[in-house]
Amino acid sequence: MALSLRNTVRIRYGITGRFSIINDVLSRARHDFGPGIARTPNGISLLLLLEALRVYPPGIPTQVTAVAGDAQATVFWQAPSSDGGSPIFRYNIAAWDARTRIAITGTTTDGNTFSTVCCRTPLTNGVPYFFRVWATNAAGDGLGSDSNTVTPMPVGPSGVSQVALYNCHSDMRTVYIWVNDLTAQTGWQQTDTLPPQYDGGSCPAGNAQPVVISLANQHVYQIVAVDPEDLGCDGQNDPTIPSCQRLFKNEVGASNGPPATFLIS
């Protein structure tokens, strides 16, 4: 595999860690090729080398998810695929009123934290919000990514003890069950496969048994049923691809809560 231009420059000039473009790259180039030389022995323009080593704002955070609480919400996300060439040192979280699409309040975390309770000022119960998360590095702010919309409510039933899933997929295909414990930061884990349980007339049919997922108390979960044969999924058993998701649920665990049952259609 060919090296990227950035890695070619690092190897060619022995650059590791943090570096100054002027002091580390141009000075070494001048030492190797003499003053006024504008190209490396391979014919690569130093202007292109400098461009390759330029730091850009980070990419867009992924999997931004919000779970409502009492006058607040817990927001989770994953790091961008690119840090722009400079470490991310801050994540910014803003709460937006979903009705007016106006930013109301916000908060920040450091670059190694991927969840927070939002926000600095309490949210209003009964008002729908979504949350925008963006990353910051030495070059500035990257673009933001929006969460699902949630509505904070007064304290009441705080979650469910378990989730039962039946495969009522009308195309009668097997689905794959994936669970992501956001609180424990387990990442996505495939827990089960679930064959078709639809007989063309009713579901669940006959003696069909569900997949049952027990939830830890006050842990926040994402639960996905993946259909690799669905249109646009291209045979991939991947819970992060929206076109592969036959079911997507955000749930909060409560040891004394009721069970929840969902039909995958």
Q: Which domains does the chain have, with CATH numbers?
A: 5-52 (no CATH), 62-146 (2.60.40.10), 162-264 (2.60.40)
| CA dist., res. 226 & res. 192, Å (int) | 11
Instruction: Identify the DSSP state of 244.
Output: G
203 vs 49, higher pLDDT: 203
User: What pLDDT shows up at residue 38?
Assistant: 44
Mean pLDDT, all residues of the chain: 81
Sheet containing 162-167: give its strands across: 211-214, 162-167, 260-264
Instruction: Average the pLDDT over 124-133 and give the result.
Output: 91
Nearest by Cα to 148 from 254, 240, 250 = 250
The model carries a pTM of 0.54
pLDDT digits (tens, 9 = 90+) for 32-81: 444 444 444 454 555 555 555 667 899 999 999 998 888 899 999 999 99
Identify any residues that bridge with 109 across adjacent strands, giving them in sequence order: 91
Residue 9 backbone class (left: φ over 0; alpha: ψ -120 to 50; beta: rest): alpha
pLDDT digits (tens, 9 = 90+) for 149-190: 998 877 654 689 999 999 988 888 999 999 988 878 888 999
Q: How confident is the model at residue 131 (pLDDT cuts 50, 70, 90)?
A: very high
Q: Could you write out the three-class secondary structure of 36-90?
A: CCCECCCCCEHHHHHHHCCCCCCCCCEEEEEEECCCCEEEEEECCCCCCCCCCCE
Q: What percent of the chain has pLDDT over 70?
A: 78
